[in-house]
Structure 1
Amino acid sequence: MSNSSCSNPKKGKEIKFDDVSLYGSIANDNASNNNNNLNFKLTTKQITLNNTIQNRLNNQPFNNENITQDDLTEIQDNESVDWPYQENQDFIHANNKRSNSLISLLVQRNRNDSIISFFKRDRSNTLTTIKRNYYKVIRYKHFKKFISIITVCFFIWVVFTLAFLPRTSLIRDFRRYHHLSTYTKEEIYRTFLDSFDGTIEDFEGLTERFSQSNNLIGDNILTQLTYDYLKQQLGYQVTVDNHQLNDIVYNFDISLELQDTKGNTYQIIIHEPIIDKKIKQLSGYILGDSLEHNKASYDVSGEFIDVGVATRSQFESLHESPKDKIHLIKRNEKMSIDSQILNSMSYGGIGCLIYNEPGTLIDFEYVNQTITRDYLLKNNMINVPVIPISYSAASTILQNGNMTLHMKRNIKKHTDYDNKDLYFTNIQFTIPGIWKDHEIIVGCQRDTFTYNGYNSGNMIFLQLAKTFADLSKKGWKPIRTIRFVSFDGNTLNNMAIKEHFIKNNGKYSNSLVFIDINKDSIKGTRNFTCRTTEMFKEAITNSVDHMSLFEEVNKDSYVKTNINIGNMKTKSSLAHFLLYENNVPTISCDFEDNTLRYPLNSNFMTKDFMEKYIDKNDYQLHKLLTKFYGLLILNMDENEIVQYNMGNYMKKIYDEFTNLGENKEYMDIKYWKEIEDIINDLKIIFESFDLYNQRLLKLAYTDYPWYKGIKKIKLLFKIKATNKRMITIKNLFLTKIRKIFEEDTQFVKFQEIEERLNLFYQVNELVGGDIEFLGKFKEYAQMNNRQGMVKYLRDLYKDLLSIKQYILDEYPV
């Protein structure tokens, strides 16, 4: 052992240290015999640690010479440090004895040469000091207690925080989780209107750009222009579907001649006047979906007769027989051209001339010279020639009733549209949403019947795409996927929508709604009409209210009259196929004017005509309808529960059925009373459905504390189940009412063939203009076919009974 000494500078007294053990305890030779051990406090600045630890590891004696400046820890002179390790003395001596054993000598190694020491040598001086400093060990000898205290404090903080956490609703949590928390629902509407105002300024330029092409089926210029606009300018991921048209013929060599008894012929003008020589004029035509029909030539001659709008009652009231004569038929919006021609064939017509209703010069100068082109829905049932003519041409013919009329059509061998490489192209894109099971589909018809024909629906569609692109850039993301489709080829018996439906059957069957932007959406200024069912009336009125709410003006400034919910037109470009045949909920809205003779499908229907006679004030009606459609889309999307007001729907059905039952003859038919009772029961059930959905939506917007998170999860599952249930119920409203036409008979007869139709709304083929309530039943009634009426009601009763049973099974608990 080495001896060392130090002097006390204050007292001048010298203390001798005979031995210093591992942790600084004093070991005296007489320590075992003397219980009076020396206890003291160090007051020096320099206290060693490194050398004592090293002595323990290597069993080396304490040496002051090994102390370096790095081994010293600064302690203030007035700081006292207790020496607490006297009790370890015996344990240290025992260790020193064992360290001299043979085994310890064999396994003895220097820690400074270990691998761990090798990797630790390059650590920072701060870390090394912490590891080696003896007084750091003393400072953290109660580390476990420190960690325990910190843990307890943490849990107290968590409980305190949870106790005062703000209450949140399911909808708010849902939007935050899916990064939809940038906007509230009301802010989304406001932001949409801001986006609309920011993108609508160049609407006139948009109409100018997309009104330069010929707009016919398969027009490559318009197709490419639309594709580039949506993909490159707006940034959508656009996809296309091409379908070959083969030999579709638009341009026909048609002539009408009057021949007197002397054999003299007089040519009837059947072409519209050429106002603008830059615009190519097409002759009138009626297209069928059969290529053979479009390419057929004919020469039919005979007497003629005016049959009005060709209703059955008008045929019955004629003073002379219409059989084996050419029928002049006046167009009427309440009648479809197919029904008019079928009625004409039933009464022996050999040809049909379709002319427009007369107008006045107040409308425009050439109102009575317009020709309306059209297409046939039931082409396979029509085998007589049909030519559209103007009212002026019809007047000329009717003034010469004693002459013979000749109808001729020769197909030109070479036209711009008879090549086999002609395709029609559907262009679509989507705005992906959180829920992808029930889409909102927005569609418009891109093609028209004439060169440079103005297409209001296409302009509204493109402006909607532009506005939603801007809204998406601002961080908006829809709850449901929104699909936009631009159809090409619907002027040929809705061929485009049929092909698209076949490829995307699942999307349409499970779609929430189809918004049909009609190409003739702006036909006047006085009446705003939405052609749909009562289940969407609330969504429509809410959209109108949002327009007036956010712009701080009275909604009467937007809609001059009340919102009319009307029947869907059979020729509302896409509704006949979707709503009538496949029960896809459809909405189609427009501005119209009963006093204005709108030149439907006419060469006069150009951009200049629209600006001069209809939407005169900087396309305000187009902009207004675009804004409405956008808010309607948001209304259907941003409501977490499907916006089907089934209670209103069934109430309307019940009212119409009871009104129809005011005819006592109907009430005597079997199943009538039973059907009335079932419809009333369904009305009550669906009204309770609506109340349940309203209550569920209210709970979804109710704020709950954090510990009720399970309740919010249950609410989410209930909402998903409700949405699925509503779509399933919607798909139930299909029936199988069978129809076939036998041309050898005078009247339309019905036989058993497979055809899926809407359960409540069908087309009365004898009228055919609207898809109306119980249209097939009314058709039977007009034909005095009591057997057909009984069969219809029997099938309706069975279908309603099945629906009622399903609804009761699915009634939410």
Structure 2
Amino acid sequence: MADPDDNEAEATGLQHYSGETTRDSNEENMNDSFTLTSRHRGRSDTISSIVSGYEIMKEHMDKEKFIYLILASLLLYVGFVSAFAPRTSLSRDFRRFHSSRLTNAEVYRIYLNSLQQENKAKEHVYRYAGCMSNGLSDSSAFKYTLNEFLDMGYKPKVEEYYPWTGELVDTDVSLLKNSEVVYRASMIEDKIKGDPASHASRRQKGFHQYSKNGDVTARYVFCNYGSLNDYKLLLKKNIDIEDKIHIVRSGKLLPGLKVKNAELYGASSVIIYKDPFDDGKVTEKNGFLPYPYGPARNPSYIERDSVNYFSDTPGDPTTPGYSSKDPDTEHMPSVGRVPRIPSVPMSAKDVQPILAKLNGRGFQIGPGSDITDFESFTGPSSSIDKIHLHNELTYKIKEISSIEVNIPGIFTEGEIIIGAHRDSLASSSAGDANSGSAILLEIARGMSKLLKHGWKPLRPIKLISWDGERSGLLGSTDYAEAHTAILRRRALVYLNLDNAVSGTNFHCKANPLLQDVIYEAAKLTEFNGHEDRSLYDHWKYTSNATISLLDGLSSYASFQYHLGVPAAHFQFNSNDTSGAIYHRNSIFDSPAWLEKFTNSDYKLHNTMAMFVGLTTLMLSENELTRFNTHNYLKKTYDWYVGWYSNLSSAFPQDYELKNLAKRVLDLLKVATWEDSVQFDQQNNLLYKECREALPVWAFYKKIKSYIKLQRSNSKSKQIDQLFITHRGLKDREWMKYSLLAPSKLQGSVGEVLPGLHEGLVDIDRNEVIQWLTILLSQFSNIRYLLQ
């Protein structure tokens, strides 16, 4: 049933129209003097009548009775208005008081229509292509983003930061036999038919951002994925790995942690390559043709990456915990946050002649390899077979810029932030980062249409284009550290667009608080231009609409793990067993690849822009912050139960520890199954109250609802921040969120209750006790907050 308020503007217009009069054409030609005389005579008669009426009342009624009559008339008028005035809701009143007559439905409709009628994503992707190199966006990408915002009518704000970062000079790897060069790797992808990006003049060799400069000649050894378990196995098998060049395959853990482990076990330098075996079903060995002829990985693919330890401390490694916003910012030594040995990436094609020399030496390790003529032997190489590795970057303080668009809201707090980075480690980068930047601009375009209709969101919205993200999350981390106090006070949610379209299957990582709004927005979003199929339908079919844990690989890290701002990350990717293999951080991440294997019409970009925009509007346009606290705490309860069962085996005779762990469990159980359920139920009732149309005389009900609304919103905003600790995780003080963090050993996956988990893994009683005490306090606070 429609809210009477929704028709108010229309009703007013109809009344105005019915009150208008049309002059007869003959009257328009009447003599001006006659008209003026008539008007003057009418005005004089009216004044005379009023004066006469007043004199008669004065003569027959004393002053006191006259005042009573006036009061009675006013009371009668107020009663009449109260009885017959249109009913309004608190939700509608917020907009009326701020001169906004757009309903939620109208806001959604205008936004979606603007994107359905025109899709400029392809234009954006092509304009960004070729603008990036060395891990930072160049001036053309910056200018294009800035000018697009300006053309839409926004007043973007530019913030500069000054991190310490590297620019590639050269990388080189050669195979030596008796000190003579017998093979030299190309260190760059092949030029291939049908992909202009591979022929671009700005192509550069593969490199690792923050890799140590060096020139190394040594024997080499194959160390599988370079995990701690791999190294323990190598030592157990008495493989000589000291002072060798360690060759490791990508996957399982972040490149920086691979180099960190290799350094720990005495490597002189590291080579990281991508083994096609790890692509699953879609490989040349399984009969699939490589790109550009088919969906398998091109053998010359090189995966550029950053090797700073950003899963421990993201951002500029010389300004840990504070921003480099000032050009004169003090930069500390980077020791402990970047490797002390050089490393380079290589392609499967380039590394093949080197690995083949190891066959029959050492033992076979790992799950298998698709490198031709390589049987996964560890080596080390013979005394006459060595590698010469050269790595050279120029490190200096360099300016980077974030571009920020602010859309003020009726409320001053509860800010929704959407972020996407525009930098890349390779030229072209159609998937990562151009797809996210294109979608950010499309979201901005849709909202600019709303602003032209007089829209003002309830909550403020901020759109930010980051720089330096592929170099270890430089831009977003500097921003979060520069604005920590403001973000903790004002920010409600952070939504992330990183590598937004590199496949066809929808994937979501998000804080459990956001589950309901994400599902609702997905159900209202058309998938790929199909009116009869929603994004939720597609998501449900491909992955049962699963929302995964956040990890530590993108710009949301600063918001979720450092500030306690609930975050979500959205992608179309190909993490299945049949989709085309994505060429991340490579020259082959090009518009040609994107159009051939994802969507040539860029409708997936359009779908993502509609979905993220709707999610934002649903968070912004609702007076009540409708977080799902029960789902949030239920997930936490399930996580805790998992670790709780391990406590007995880790500390079998420690009854003090067991009692403390049981107290935490009991407290969390009550918070999950009683307090959160009651809080969510009350919020559902309050949501309905805010939309209930009430007569004027029931204004006191609106006041009560408004007080409850303010209280509930304040509580919802504090929920995640209650789990921010001052001390942070052990050896990772920057990570302050006690419920989730990037895995300490892998970095590429999320780890639940990380402080408690790490204490259990290390069988560190003091650490476990400390984290149980922290969780006991935090769960007590959440109970108090929700009551």
Judge same fold: TM > 0.5, yes or no. yes
Give the deviation of 1:541 after TM superposition: 0.5
The secondary structure found in structure 2 opposite 1:569 is coil
Cross-structure match for 1:605: 589
Cross-structure match for 1:514: 494
Preserved CA contact (<8 Å) 1:304 1:405 = yes
- Cα separation, 2, equivalents of 1:132 and 1:622: 72
Q: Does the C-alpha gap of structure 1 residues 766 and 427 become closer, same or farther in structure 2, counting only changes over 3 Å? A: same
Q: Does the C-alpha gap of structure 1 residues 411 and 344 become closer, same or farther in structure 2, counting only changes over 3 Å? A: closer
- Cα separation, 1, equivalents of 2:487 and 2:662: 35
Preserved CA contact (<8 Å) 1:356 1:390 = yes
- Cα separation, 2, equivalents of 1:398 and 1:427: 45
| In the alignment, structure 1 residue 168 sits paired with structure 2 residue 143 | no
- Cα separation, 1, equivalents of 2:108 and 2:523: 11
Q: 1:300-315 maps to which residues of 2 (within 5 A)?
A: 300-315=216-231
The secondary structure found in structure 1 opposite 2:619 is helix
> Relative contact order (C-alpha < 8 Å, sep 6+): which is higher?
2
| Matching residue within 798, 803, 812 for 2:778 | 803
Cross-structure match for 2:747: 768
Which stretches in structure 1 are left out of the alignment for 5+ residues? Answer: 1-122, 740-749
The secondary structure found in structure 2 opposite 1:280 is coil
The secondary structure found in structure 2 opposite 1:704 is coil
| In the alignment, structure 1 residue 730 sits paired with structure 2 residue 713 | no
Cross-structure match for 2:704: 714
| In the alignment, structure 1 residue 298 sits paired with structure 2 residue 220 | no
The secondary structure found in structure 1 opposite 2:159 is strand
Cross-structure match for 1:79: none
Give the deviation of 1:467 after TM superposition: 0.9
- Cα separation, 2, equivalents of 1:136 and 1:757: 78
TM-score calculated relative to the size of structure 1:
0.74
Preserved CA contact (<8 Å) 2:259 2:307 = no
- Cα separation, 2, equivalents of 1:722 and 1:302: 64
Give the deviation of 1:188 after TM superposition: 2.1
CA RMSD of aligned residues (A): 3.1
- Matching residue's letter, 1:303: R
- Cα separation, 2, equivalents of 1:128 and 1:727: 64
Q: Does the C-alpha gap of structure 1 residues 687 and 326 become closer, same or farther in structure 2, counting only changes over 3 Å? A: farther
Cross-structure match for 2:685: 695
Cross-structure match for 2:101: 181
Which of 138-147 and 364-373 deviates more? Answer: 138-147
Give the deviation of 1:449 after TM superposition: 0.9
| In the alignment, structure 1 residue 440 sits paired with structure 2 residue 360 | no
Cross-structure match for 1:344: 262
Cross-structure match for 1:80: none
Give the deviation of 1:327 after TM superposition: 1.6
| Matching residue within 548, 560, 574 for 1:593 | 574
- Cα separation, 2, equivalents of 1:145 and 1:198: 71
1:645-702 deviation line (CA, Å, top 9, x unaligned):
1211110111122234444525746243233223223213223222222222222222
Cross-structure match for 1:376: 307
| Matching residue within 160, 164, 188 for 1:242 | 160
1:164-201 deviation line (CA, Å, top 9, x unaligned):
33433211222222223322x2332222211221332x
Q: Does the C-alpha gap of structure 1 residues 140 and 130 become closer, same or farther in structure 2, counting only changes over 3 Å? A: farther
- Cα separation, 1, equivalents of 2:418 and 2:759: 35
Cross-structure match for 2:514: 536
Identity of paired residues, percent?
A: 24
Q: Does the C-alpha gap of structure 1 residues 151 and 570 become closer, same or farther in structure 2, counting only changes over 3 Å? A: closer
- Cα separation, 2, equivalents of 1:483 and 1:582: 17
1:692-732 deviation line (CA, Å, top 9, x unaligned):
22222222222333222122112112211221222223211
Q: Does the C-alpha gap of structure 1 residues 490 and 548 become closer, same or farther in structure 2, counting only changes over 3 Å? A: closer
1:48-95 deviation line (CA, Å, top 9, x unaligned):
xxxxxxxxxxxxxxxxxxxxxxxxxxxxxxxxxxxxxxxxxxxxxxxx
Q: Does the C-alpha gap of structure 1 residues 438 and 610 become closer, same or farther in structure 2, counting only changes over 3 Å? A: same
Give the deviation of 1:208 after TM superposition: 2.5
- Cα separation, 2, equivalents of 1:129 and 1:693: 61
Cross-structure match for 1:141: 56
Cross-structure match for 1:656: 639
Cross-structure match for 2:449: 470
Give the deviation of 1:142 after TM superposition: 3.7
| In the alignment, structure 1 residue 625 sits paired with structure 2 residue 608 | yes
- Cα separation, 1, equivalents of 2:245 and 2:629: 48
Preserved CA contact (<8 Å) 2:303 2:345 = yes
- Cα separation, 1, equivalents of 2:390 and 2:712: 57
1:198-222 deviation line (CA, Å, top 9, x unaligned):
332x332233333253465251121
The secondary structure found in structure 2 opposite 1:174 is helix
Which stretches in structure 2 are left out of the alignment for 5+ residues? Answer: 1-38, 193-197, 277-282, 310-316, 318-334, 359-380
Give the deviation of 1:309 after TM superposition: 1.6
Q: Does the C-alpha gap of structure 1 residues 464 and 667 become closer, same or farther in structure 2, counting only changes over 3 Å? A: farther
Cross-structure match for 2:549: 567
- Cα separation, 2, equivalents of 1:129 and 1:317: 109
- Cα separation, 2, equivalents of 1:406 and 1:523: 35
| In the alignment, structure 1 residue 428 sits paired with structure 2 residue 408 | no
Cross-structure match for 2:110: 191
The secondary structure found in structure 1 opposite 2:122 is helix
Cross-structure match for 2:352: 395
Give the deviation of 1:131 after TM superposition: 9.9
Which of 554-563 and 167-176 deviates more? Answer: 554-563
- Matching residue's letter, 1:534: P
- Cα separation, 2, equivalents of 1:179 and 1:532: 35
Q: Does the C-alpha gap of structure 1 residues 553 and 412 become closer, same or farther in structure 2, counting only changes over 3 Å? A: closer
TM-score calculated relative to the size of structure 2:
0.77
Structure whose alpha-carbon radius of gyration is higher: 1
- Cα separation, 2, equivalents of 1:548 and 1:169: 30
Give the deviation of 1:515 after TM superposition: 0.8
- Cα separation, 2, equivalents of 1:158 and 1:780: 69
Give the deviation of 1:548 after TM superposition: 5.0
Preserved CA contact (<8 Å) 2:207 2:305 = yes
Report how many aligned residue pairs link the two structures.
654
Cross-structure match for 1:665: 649
Q: Does the C-alpha gap of structure 1 residues 163 and 607 become closer, same or farther in structure 2, counting only changes over 3 Å? A: same
Give the deviation of 1:481 after TM superposition: 0.4
- Cα separation, 2, equivalents of 1:495 and 1:367: 30
Which of 633-642 and 355-364 deviates more? Answer: 355-364
Q: 1:575-590 maps to which residues of 2 (within 5 A)?
A: 575-590=556-571
Give the deviation of 1:463 after TM superposition: 0.8
Cross-structure match for 1:97: none
The secondary structure found in structure 2 opposite 1:570 is coil
Q: Does the C-alpha gap of structure 1 residues 128 and 430 become closer, same or farther in structure 2, counting only changes over 3 Å? A: closer
Q: Does the C-alpha gap of structure 1 residues 767 and 175 become closer, same or farther in structure 2, counting only changes over 3 Å? A: same
- Matching residue's letter, 1:796: W
Cross-structure match for 2:676: 686
| Matching residue within 786, 791, 796 for 2:763 | 786
Cross-structure match for 1:209: 127
- Matching residue's letter, 1:461: L
- Cα separation, 2, equivalents of 1:342 and 1:523: 29
Q: Does the C-alpha gap of structure 1 residues 718 and 666 become closer, same or farther in structure 2, counting only changes over 3 Å? A: farther
The secondary structure found in structure 2 opposite 1:383 is coil
Give the deviation of 1:394 after TM superposition: 2.6
Give the deviation of 1:589 after TM superposition: 0.8
